[in-house]
Structure formats: C-alpha cells, structure tokens
A and B are shown apart, each in its own frame.
Chain A
C-alpha cells in the first residue's frame, strides 16, 4: 500500500469567508477582514461573521454546542459534503474514519462561564449539561457524535502551531495504518477571555493593523475560524474514485521556548523546523515554489521568521514568492496553521500565491506583494510559529500520479 498521504477535500469557515471557493475568492482579492469588532466593544478583530449554523448543521441538537463546536461541526459537514460522502451512512461511519483537531484556547469561554455560574449562582445550581463543553477536546467529541466519526479523535494543542501539528499528526496516523480517512485541521473561537489573553501577550497591535514583514508593523490582531483537510492514502482515494489534489510531503518541528509569551527572535527553532521539513520531504530549498509564512505582523515574530527563511534558503529566497495571509485573516491561533495550509494548497493548484493584503514594502528582502504572485513549481512550504517556542513547518506538493 502506498504511504503517500493526499488531500481530497476541505471545509473552512474563516474571517475571509466560508467554503473553499469563497475563502479563495476573498483571500486572492487582496481584501482584509481585520476591522472593528461587532462583538467586543472597542476591539479590532478578524471575526467569522454571522455564525448562522443552520446551512451546515441543520437545527437539531445544536443548542448544547458552544461556538468552537459549532465552527468545527460546520467545517466537518462541509468537508464531508464536498467530497460526496454520505454523513449518515457509508464511509463516515466506518471505524477507521476520524478527526484530528488543533486548538489553542479550546473552549475557554465555556470553562470560564461554567466556573462563573458556580461562583455567582452556586455550585449546586450550575447546568451539568454544560460541563462536557469545558474539556478541551469537546468540539472534536461533538463533531464525532454528530457525524459518526468513530476512528481516532485527537485534539492537539501546540499554541499557534496547533493546526499544522494536527495535519501532520493525522498524516502520520494514516502512514502507520491506524486510520483510512482523517479530517485534520483546527478550530479557534474569539471570546472575551481569549481576546483579553491575546491582547496582553505583547504581540497585539495597538493600532489595530496587521502588516506582516512591513517596516512599520506593530503587532497582530486575533482571528477565529475552523479549517479541515480531508486526508487519506493515495490508494484509498483512487479506489474510492476521489481525485487527490495535494500530497503531504514532509514536516518539521522544534521547540525553543525561553518564555511562554515571547518569540525567540534568534529563530533557532524556526530554522530547524523549516530545515527538517525539507529534509523530511527529500527536497532542496530550490524546489520550493511558494512559501506561506506564519508572519502575523508582530515585530519579533516576523523578524524571527525572515531570519529563519534566509538561513535555510539563502539566495534562493530572491526567487520564491512569499505570502503572509494573516494580513487578511489575522492570527487565528489554533487554526492558523490549517488556514495557511489550505491557502498553500490553493496556491499550488492555481499556480498563484495569495496577496499579502496591504503590503507596501518592508525591509526583510522577501518576495512579498500586495497582489497575487505567479507560482512556478510543485512544492510549497507552510510555516506556523508561536510566541511560545512552538514551531512547525509543512511541505506539500501538487499531486501527480
């Protein structure tokens, strides 16, 4: 059996749109979803608007689902429907069909509200139905129940690299034969607690702008959403009549934390992650045709990433288009890596890298543009680096028989 892991479907709800088509249209238009919040007074965010779940979830049994669970269930439904899989019967009910979900704050609003009810109304009066929502793997568990996903159901928390780590974890499970089809990506909700926490991390933009790699950048803005790829072995996809789009090639990860709230500007971990991902894919830096950067506008984080890219790519970097899509959808924390992976997949498919919204020039020397850039090649690198030493890089390839 082939150990190649391929992408055969996707589901996405993001600040730049719901569904892969809208996500692509808005992201490639160069528009940005960063704007004054409609939910949190005085804040600037990148929100997924109108979380009206009915089109994806129906109306049955969703009352108990918190925002994270609704986001994840909706992207699950999209990924399943988009690939023509029946949800009630058929493949999605088989025991080797599962879900791997990355998240950073998880259900922090649910756990905080549950405790708050106990402290204000009394510990014997809280609604026990809300207790399950307080565990971090609750969205993944709810999606499994709703869509009969009986295989591995893991939640992955690696800070801002969670979504990319989840995709790699799923790819590894498929290669080891522990599953046949896995939905993998992430979810993150914006809530007052995560927003408050984010604003105090020191990477938040005081001016409400996200300007990755720009000289005048002053921080980032939090976003939310959910994004999943459907992953399976190449053989399984072909046997089931599904055409693979993208192949997962290699992965690298390294931790270089000196604090849980600061980027390591020296970038040893980021450099190691990128170098490992290339090595693990058996390719050289000159083969990368497009880089989807982790850059989110933070001073230290972007500097760290530019340094790491220069170290690994050297002069090749002059030729490789780089995109920083967080200029459009903000720093979506646990789902960022998955959103960037989807963007990277689309860039290869259409041989066109997405714009870095509003980019006016910077001092990093990277090949960035406020417009879409042509891509000439098969491989893309996706980075997800955190302000806590958690670094991950993934190499993907345009699928060919």
Chain B
C-alpha cells in the first residue's frame, strides 16, 4: 500500500499568507475578522467577515491573467505556488502528466454571478458581456491551478460545499494510493461573496461581533474566504528526495445525513459515521486520536451537534481529547475551510502545538469538551481527526498522523 505524505503547505487566509505567517497567527490566536470591505454591507443586519486583505494576484501569478481569472482561482493558484515552493519540488523533474489537482469549493466563482446581475440591473440584459458565465463553473478553479503550474494529470473539482476541502484532499490521497498520479496539489478555495453573506444573514446564522465556537454565548458563524493547497506525494518519494514531511494522510471517511439541507442531524448520525469510517480506514481507534480539528462554526446548532457526536463516539474518552476550532480566528472559509484546517493539522503534527479556540469565555453545559480555550497548547499529538460538515448533509473526516521519520 502506498503511504501518502504532506510535504508542502500553501495558504491564503484572512490571517495571512504562507505557512509561517499562518501558523504563527494561529498559535498567537490572531483574528482575521474585520468590517466587510468587498461590498457595501449597509443593507445587511451584520457587518463583519473573514476577508483576505492585501491579496495582490499579480504578485503570485506568472501565467494566469488576473483580469480574466476569478478570485477563487487566483487564491487557489497562489496557494498552489506557495505549497510547491514550500515543498522544494522542481516540477521540471516530474512527468507533468502524472501531477494532478484536486480541489473543493462551495460557490465556485460567485463574483461572476454578482457581476452578471450588476450589469443586468444597471444596463439591461443586452449589455451583459459574453465571457461572464463561462468563467463561473467551479471546475475552472482546478483548471486554473493546472494552467498556472503547467501540470497535466487528473484535474478534479469536488464541490461538496463546506466539507469540500476534505473530500478533495481525500481524493488526492486516493489517486496517489491507486498509483494514478505521482504528485497531487489538493485543497480548497472560496471567494467572499455577497450571495453567501446574504444567505447566511437571512438564515440568522451570522454572529454580529465575533466567532465564539462552543462558548455558551456563541451567536453564529462568520463568512470568510481563502484557499489552501497541500502537496501530497508518496512517502517513499518524499523520503527519496529528502523532503520535509509535515504529516502522513492515513485515510478519510464520508457520509450523508440524508436529513435536512442546512441543519445537521440532531444526534450527529452522519458526523459519527464519517469519523468512524476515517478511523477504520486509517487503522486507528478512539484510543489513538489525540486532537480533533473541529468543524466548529460557532452556530448554536453545529457546535452542540458536533459535541454530541464526539461524545457519543468517544464516550468516556471524549473530554480527554482536545478539540479546537480555528474558525474562531478567521471565520468560515467555506470550501477552503477543511483544507486550511488540514494544513493546520499537518503543522500541529509537525510542531507538537495545537491551535486554540479564541473568544472562548463561558462554558456551555451542552458543550462540555476540552476546546483548547484561548491559548495554544503543546501536546505533541500523534493522530488527528479533521472534521468538516456541509449543506446537503455532507460530512467528511480526514485522519492524519505524525511522521516518525
């Protein structure tokens, strides 16, 4: 069986770009939440978001033209560049037909939908330029990553909403294990959009001031944006080239609640099945798991259900397994979220530190686990579960382990 290593990390997030800035920010409990600047939030009942600020695509893109490339694609291609640089890989020494891209997203390139409606409203249907909608379908994101880095292997988009990053990393892992690729760029991307913002605002799901996962007074999630790409390669290949190995991917599990489009199953049925499947595939049990990267959006329901699921599955061990949500710092970056969280998990395994849940003040009797409140902690985790849940009742848990050399 081919073992799969994480050997490169590229991130574009509300708390900064690149592995080092990102990881320092996470351990310091930095917040990337601020007033919405990419559109006028005046008509909305809430006004904050996790936007990626100061992203200048020209600084990151060599082949793609930023003017004809959507924002999610720009961030994804930039993250891929950072991940490749971090891995020390020279693609010229690879058969580019054996290098693939696997991405997830919630909304694809929604800014083109906004542009379409803006022109339609201001100037009428006839004024809408022809090249808007061809840029919208979400497969353009991995396609742009492949174009920017001139790679020609499998090119996959798995738009399973807010769990998509885990699905995409999982599929990259699958392609390597099946021997269908030598190297995979896997992750997720989503752009901040008034459409997503409006939807969550109308559901009453957005917190007005801060994201406080698992806190008694949590008031909701905060929409964000970003991209993360992991370089995945066979462990043997990584060792042969003397690469830095951040972590090893062991397996993943997916499931569907089949219950409700936006609300999780109240007992966490699907969440439990996804975690169990991930552990089974990885040859691990609840005794082995020593950190959980929570989906932890900060909505009253999500955090309660996720806690219930972990409690049910881990039973007496539940309270001994630290579980934190980095969404407390950057908001919910949608299809990028679980990919960004997988990057954080890889760094936790590499450094021994686990990031905190910030803004945690009052314990909630219904959420009674160890959420690593406010301070990063050195626990030297060996095996981690990365949870992600999504609209449509999609659940995906990814299992990673420390590489012992």
Q: Which of A19-27, A45-53, A101-109, A322-330 lies at the interface with chain B?
A: A101-109
Interchain CA distance A172-B171 in the complex, whole Å: 10
A131 x B262 contact (CB < 8 A):
yes
A155 x B159 contact (CB < 8 A):
yes
B161 x A124 contact (CB < 8 A):
no
- B371 CB to nearest chain A CB (Å): 28
Interchain CA distance A155-B133 in the complex, whole Å: 20
Q: Which residues from chain A contact B113 at a C-beta distance below 8 Å?
A: 108, 111-112, 115
A145 x B139 contact (CB < 8 A):
no
Interchain CA distance A152-B43 in the complex, whole Å: 39
A108 x B136 contact (CB < 8 A):
yes
B24 interface hit (Cβ, 8 Å): no
Tell me whether A105 and B137 are in contact in the complex, defined as CB-CB below 8 angstroms, given that A123-B201, A136-B108 are known contacts.
Answer: yes
Residue-wise, chain B 140-181 has the 8 Å CB interface mask toward A (1 for contact) of 100110110001111111111100000100010010001000
Pick the most buried of A124, A152, A255, A389: most chain B CB atoms within 10 A of its CB.
A255
Interchain CA distance A268-B150 in the complex, whole Å: 14
A128 x B43 contact (CB < 8 A):
no
A contacts with B: majority SS: mixed
B283 interface hit (Cβ, 8 Å): no
Q: Which residues from chain A contact B106 at a C-beta distance below 8 Å?
A: 135-136
Interface residues of B in 203-251 (CB under 8 A from A): 203
Nearest A residue to B151 via CB reads A255
Q: Which of A108, A153, A255 contacts B154 (CB 8 A)?
A: A255
B contacts with A: majority SS: mixed
A396 interface hit (Cβ, 8 Å): no
- B232 CB to nearest chain A CB (Å): 16
Q: Which residues from chain B contact A176 at a C-beta distance below 8 Å?
A: 174
B260 interface hit (Cβ, 8 Å): yes
Residue-wise, chain B 105-133 has the 8 Å CB interface mask toward A (1 for contact) of 11110100110111011000000101111
- B103 CB to nearest chain A CB (Å): 9
A388 x B140 contact (CB < 8 A):
yes
A369 interface hit (Cβ, 8 Å): no
Pick the most buried of A119, A153, A165, A390: most chain B CB atoms within 10 A of its CB.
A153
Interchain CA distance A137-B391 in the complex, whole Å: 8
Pick the most buried of B113, B194, B258: most chain A CB atoms within 10 A of its CB.
B258
- B171 CB to nearest chain A CB (Å): 8
Interchain CA distance A268-B199 in the complex, whole Å: 42
A141 x B134 contact (CB < 8 A):
no
Q: Which of A195-203, A281-289, A308-316, A370-378 lies at the interface with chain B?
A: A195-203
Interface residues of A in 208-257 (CB under 8 A from B): 253-257
Q: Which residues from chain B contact A115 at a C-beta distance below 8 Å?
A: 113-114, 117, 194-195, 198
Q: Which residues from chain B contact A55 at a C-beta distance below 8 Å?
A: none
Interchain CA distance A197-B44 in the complex, whole Å: 30
- B373 CB to nearest chain A CB (Å): 32
Tell me whether A138 and B139 are in contact in the complex, defined as CB-CB below 8 angstroms, given that A128-B203, A172-B174, A200-B133 are known contacts.
Answer: no
B79 interface hit (Cβ, 8 Å): no
- A310 CB to nearest chain B CB (Å): 20
B114 x A255 contact (CB < 8 A):
no
B256 x A172 contact (CB < 8 A):
no
A122 interface hit (Cβ, 8 Å): yes
Interchain CA distance A167-B31 in the complex, whole Å: 42
A156 x B202 contact (CB < 8 A):
no
B134 x A201 contact (CB < 8 A):
yes
13 contacts between A and B (CB under 8 A): A132-B261, A135-B391, A141-B392, A142-B261, A152-B256, A154-B167, A155-B160, A156-B156, A157-B159, A254-B152, A255-B101, A255-B152, A269-B152
For the complex with contacts A137-B392, A148-B258, A254-B152, 20 further pairs of A-B residues with Cβ separation under 8 Å are A95-B255, A104-B139, A106-B138, A108-B136, A111-B113, A112-B113, A124-B201, A135-B107, A135-B159, A136-B159, A141-B392, A144-B392, A150-B255, A159-B139, A169-B171, A178-B254, A196-B130, A198-B133, A389-B146, A390-B143
| Residue positions of B touching A, CB distance < 8 A | 43-45, 97, 100-101, 105-108, 110, 113-114, 116-118, 120-121, 128, 130-140, 143-144, 146-147, 151-161, 167, 171, 174, 178, 194-195, 198-203, 253-262, 269-270, 273, 277, 281, 390-394
